Structures are given as structure tokens and as C-alpha cells.
Chains A and B, each alone.
Chain A
Amino acid sequence: MNCLLSAEKISVRYGSLAALTDVDLCVHDGQRHALIGPNGAGKTTLLSVLGATTRPQRGTVRFVGRDVSRLGPAARARRGINRTHQRPAVFATLTAIENIEVAALPRTIRRRRWSPGGTRGAARRTAAELLDQLGLSDLATVPAGHLAHGQRRQLEIAMALAGRPRLLLLDEPAAGLSATEVGRLAELLAALPRQVAVLLVEHHLDLVYALCDTVTVLRDGRTVAAGTPDEIRTSPLVRRAYADGVS
């Protein structure tokens, strides 16, 4: 099995609460992988383990064949794991375009060391393109702290993309977005180059089924099912797992 990212036997406890118990996950190169489950299932916790903001009590994370368990968030980002947060995290006093520029810098610095206009020019071009794709160009010079919730969420997605990830971790990117915004987001994600793998946590199951080729279902910190969208949609196990959660 050749995983781009593999998590093996991940366990996270908060005091007496087992947020994750022996969770295994494999995301292949270019895969569109959804992670679903009712509230409190441990989805965000798993993303934080992958992004290195939560240290698991047990388990190993491998990325591109290397054990990255001991690397911090920045080092993992530089290797190509970029994420968004369930509560959008942006730099409030920086403008929207500066936010994306900052996120783009670590990669542009390495790629275009001697490019004319410098790394900042390259970062700014990336930022402008991403804003355009998300339909946020009008807001380029607005401080991120002024943006509405949905706009901040989209801005953070643009920031994650600006890092040119090999694996994109998205924590409920569609939550709080309007129908139009969800549509644009779906388009953007569908249009991502195939080199980018996506691990998508999402309650909007329509979006999940439209975009993803693999679905993993978590419940009470354990993997209860994994398969193609069709298998998951019809699985009685999944219906039960979701019965007391969200629709």
C-alpha cells in the first residue's frame, strides 16, 4: 500500500475522554478523501494530529514515506501538508492579499530565489490569482479582521492553497458559507490539480459525495467505515453512526 500520508494507530486522550482510539488512515497521492462523522467524533482532532498541533499519546504519522511524527506544524507545512481550521484562522490586521502572500512565502522563497521582482513579487502574484479564483478580489486590501465569517473561511482556504500543498487538510470549509459561496468552493476544489491530495472534513454530504472518491467515517474516536461514496451512502452501519449525529 503506497500512501502519501498514513496515520497508524493514532490515539488521543483528553483526560478521561478518548478523542481518538487506534485510528488508521491512508491518503493516496492525488486522492480526494473525505472524513465524516457526527459532532465530537474526533475529526478535527485527527486533522490537528496530522498538522502537528495536537500530539497524540500513541501512533505514527508518515508523509511521503518518512516518519514525520516528531516534526512540528511549520516543518510539516514545508513538506507539503497545509490546512485550514474549523474556526478560520487569519491574520486580522493584515489585508486579505497580505494574508495570502504571507502564506505563500515559505514556498516561493525556495522556488524562486533569484526571480525578478523578488520572492515578494511572486507571492503577490500567487495571492492575486487565488483571490480572483475565490471571487474575493474586491476585498484584497481589506484587513482580514473586517471580513465576514464566510469570507474569512475562504481566505484561509486561499492561504492553504498558496502554500502549494501536496496534501490539503480542510476542516469544514463549507460551514457558514452561502449557497453561492459553496458552489464556488466546490468548483475551486474540483479544479485543483491532481497532484494535490485533499482530506476533507465536511458535514455537507452533497459536497462530499460530489468531490470525493473515498470516505472514512469516524465515530466516538474510532473508524467505523471506509469506502467509496456509494458504499458509504448505502451502508446501514453509517446510517446508524450518524443517527444520533447530524443528518
Chain B
Amino acid sequence: MRDEVLRRVRAAVATLVLAGLLVAPWVVDDYTAAILARTLALGLVGVSVALLTGVAGMPTLGQTAPYAAGAYASAVLGSQVSDVGVVQVAVAALAGATLAAVTLPLVVPARGVIVLMITLAIGELVVTVLGRWRSVTGGTDGLAGIAGVRPFWGLPVLATDQARYLYTLVVVATLVGAVLLLLRTRAGVLLRAGRDDEMRLRASGHRVPLYLSGAHVAAGAIAGAAGSLLVVAQQYISPADFGFDTSALLLLGVVIGGTASVGGALVGAALVIAVRDWLFGVLPGHAPLVLGALFVATVYLLPTGVTRARRPRPVPAPRPPDVAPTRDRDATPELRV
């Protein structure tokens, strides 16, 4: 019964938030609309982080890499080939997915903290490349004056911050809906199973590395698409948009939102970005400290995040008296599938 109530409350909150997001452009000023659009794009990257960290069990600090790949692909394409939004989103997703695919051999064999370190390194590498490859990326100055997009063939170019925000909202809602649907299929169940107990999943004959690869490429595509939205929202991008601080904030947001929850990731990422921007004004220079404290508090007080305070608590396993502690499931050298 409590679960039922909880579900209804959550659905009601989600509906309210969505309604709020829909009317927002008529309520807020241009500047805020632009900020909101950017926050939505970051929230979508947060969703990709949640997909990897919470659902698939691969904690990542590197989703800024496909995000950047998508953003630059979209910006370059926008100024040279097509100004149609859906085309740019598709190309950006492809760029993000491709980058994720290229890094698969590094990411998929790794586990736990090692994944964090590797993905962090990939993210940093991408930022460095963006800074150096001046002819295409404009170097650390970034790309400015990016042409506006028309959402679809035959539609006008988005000319106001409000219009750009609504476009972002529609794309984010569509993609988040797609992710939620995907997670309800067998793919979602298998990813969660792998996170719960990877060895058990293998012992049943599943090709776990294949699933992790799929999740990683899908997350790359989502982050890439978000990159395209950032370009629309800001009309300017530079390597600074994809630095380590962004990765760290996203992971923080996802942890706050409850790692395995896609909606939570959106809320968490938005919350963290808002807190950062707000603190930046109130307490110049101290924002990282406050966010760090928030992170520690979250991890200790709400191990499953704010959107998911309840979770199955394992019943402690009584050890039968005649059985010595077993070690057969860890610490032994493992064969490759």
C-alpha cells in the first residue's frame, strides 16, 4: 500500500514539474529561459550518467566526452550542412555514440573506481583535444555565432530564448521517455541484474560485456544529443563547458537524485546546477566546498538518493553452523567470457 501511495505521489510530482516546465517560458525572462534550457541539456547528460552509474553499475566521470563530441558535431554541422534540429540531434547522438564505442575497450573491462578513473581520463583527453584542434573547434576560445536551428524541415528558425527552451524541453522529454521505455524492456532488467550481481548473470550464460557495451554506447548517444541541445541553448560552446567540474557535478546530481532513477537524475542534475549558479553569486569561490559537503551528506544520509528513499533491505543471511565462510565468489582470478 505504501508503495502505491509513493508511486502516486511521485507521479503527481512528475506531472507538476512537467507542467511547470511547460509554462515556464511564459513566466520567466529571456535570461532565465536560456539558463533553464542549458540546465535541461545538462539534465539529459545526467540521465546518461544515471543509466551507466545507477542502472548498469558503471560509475562514470566521463560523460562530458560524448556530450562534447555531440555539441561540436552539431555546431560544426549547423554552420556548414544543415540547420534542421532533428538532423543535428541525430548527428550529435551518432558522434557521442561513436566516441563511446571507440572507448569501449578501455571502459568495459574495468570495474568500480577504475571506471571512474578511466572515464575521467577520457573526459580530460577530449577537453585537451578540443583546446588544441583550433581549425575545427576554435581552440579554447570556442565556437561562437552558431547559426540558429529550425526544429524540423519547413519550420521557422528558433529566434527567441523561449522558443529555444521549448525546443530543448520537447527533445529532452522525448529522449527521457524513450530511455524510460527502454528500461522497462528486457534490456533494463538485464542491466539491473548485472549491477546486482555480475557473476551470477555470467553464471547463467549471459554475455555481460556485450550488455555493458550496449549501455555505454546508448549513454554516449544520449549525452551526444544533449550536446546538440547545449549548442541551441547557448549558441556558443567552448571546452570549458565540458570540464571535470561538469562531470563531477553531474555525478553529484545523479547521486543526490538516487543513482538508479532516471527522473531523479534529471532533478538532481538540475538541483546541483542551480545550487552552483546560485552559490556562485552568494558565496564567490566557495561553491565547490558547499557542493562537496552536500555530496558527503547525501551519500551518508540518503544512500539511495532523494527520489528513492526506500529500497529493499536484504534480510541478513543466517550462517548455518556447519559451514565455514566461503570465498568462492570473490578474490579468485577470473576467466574471460
Give A contacts to B, CB under 8 Å. 39-40, 44-45, 47-48, 51-55, 70-75, 77-78, 82-83, 85-94, 98-99, 101-103, 105-107, 119-120, 143, 145-149, 152, 159, 162-163, 171-172, 175-176, 203, 246
Determine whether B90 belongs to the interface, using a CB cutoff of 8 Å to chain A: no
Determine whether B2 belongs to the interface, using a CB cutoff of 8 Å to chain A: no
Does B328 contact A45, Cβ atoms closer than 8 Å?
Answer: yes
**Most chain A Cβ neighbours within 10 Å, of B204, B312, B326, B333:** B204
Q: Identify A72's interface contact among B201, B313, B317, B337, CB under 8 A.
A: B337
Does B315 contact A73, Cβ atoms closer than 8 Å?
Answer: no
Q: Identify B205's interface contact among A70, A86, A89, A106, CB under 8 A.
A: A106
Q: Identify A91's interface contact among B196, B202, B311, B324, CB under 8 A.
A: B196
Q: Identify B206's interface contact among A99, A105, A162, A175, CB under 8 A.
A: A105
Q: Nearest Cβ distance between residue B208 and chain A, in whole angstroms?
A: 7
- Given contacts A74-B202, A143-B312, A149-B315, A53 and B334 within 8 Å (CB-CB): yes
CB-nearest residue of chain A to B196: A91
Does A54 contact B328, Cβ atoms closer than 8 Å?
Answer: yes
User: With contacts A45-B328, A55-B333, A85-B329 known, what are 5 further pairs, Cβ within 8 A?
Assistant: A53-B199, A73-B202, A74-B337, A87-B326, A149-B317
Does B322 contact A102, Cβ atoms closer than 8 Å?
Answer: no
| Residues of B close to A82: CB separation below 8 A | 203-205
**Most chain B Cβ neighbours within 10 Å, of A54, A73, A106, A171:** A73
Interface string of B193-221 (1 = CB under 8 A from A): 10111011111111110000000000000
Interchain CA distance A148-B314 in the complex, whole Å: 8
Can you list 23 A-B contacts with CB-CB less than 8 angstroms, sorted by A residue number? A54-B332, A72-B334, A73-B337, A77-B202, A85-B200, A85-B328, A87-B328, A90-B197, A91-B193, A91-B201, A93-B311, A99-B193, A145-B313, A145-B315, A146-B312, A147-B315, A149-B317, A149-B318, A162-B204, A171-B328, A172-B323, A176-B318, A176-B320
- Given contacts A74-B208, A98-B189, A143-B312, A39 and B324 within 8 Å (CB-CB): yes
Interface size on B, residues (CB 8 A): 40
Interchain CA distance A54-B337 in the complex, whole Å: 13
| Residues of A close to B205: CB separation below 8 A | 74-75, 77-78, 82, 106-107, 163
Total number of residue pairs linking A and B with CB closer than 8 Å: 151
| Residues of B close to A101: CB separation below 8 A | 189
Q: Identify A87's interface contact among B203, B329, B332, CB under 8 A.
A: B329
Does A92 contact B199, Cβ atoms closer than 8 Å?
Answer: no
| Residues of B close to A86: CB separation below 8 A | 323, 326, 328
| Residues of A close to B207: CB separation below 8 A | 74
**Most chain A Cβ neighbours within 10 Å, of B197, B205, B326:** B205
Does B315 contact A91, Cβ atoms closer than 8 Å?
Answer: no
**Most chain B Cβ neighbours within 10 Å, of A45, A87, A88:** A87
Does A93 contact B312, Cβ atoms closer than 8 Å?
Answer: yes
Does B186 contact A89, Cβ atoms closer than 8 Å?
Answer: no
Does B335 contact A71, Cβ atoms closer than 8 Å?
Answer: yes
Q: Nearest Cβ distance between residue B60 and chain A, in whole angstroms?
A: 20
Within 8 A of A (CB), among B280-337: 311-315, 317-320, 322-324, 326, 328-329, 332-337
| Residues of A close to B158: CB separation below 8 A | none
Does B200 contact A90, Cβ atoms closer than 8 Å?
Answer: yes
CB-nearest residue of chain B to A147: B315
Q: Nearest Cβ distance between residue A122 and chain B, in whole angstroms?
A: 12
Does B197 contact A91, Cβ atoms closer than 8 Å?
Answer: yes
- Given contacts A87-B326, A89-B329, A92-B196, A73 and B189 within 8 Å (CB-CB): no
Interchain CA distance A75-B334 in the complex, whole Å: 13
Interchain CA distance A9-B196 in the complex, whole Å: 35
- Given contacts A85-B328, A105-B186, A39 and B200 within 8 Å (CB-CB): no
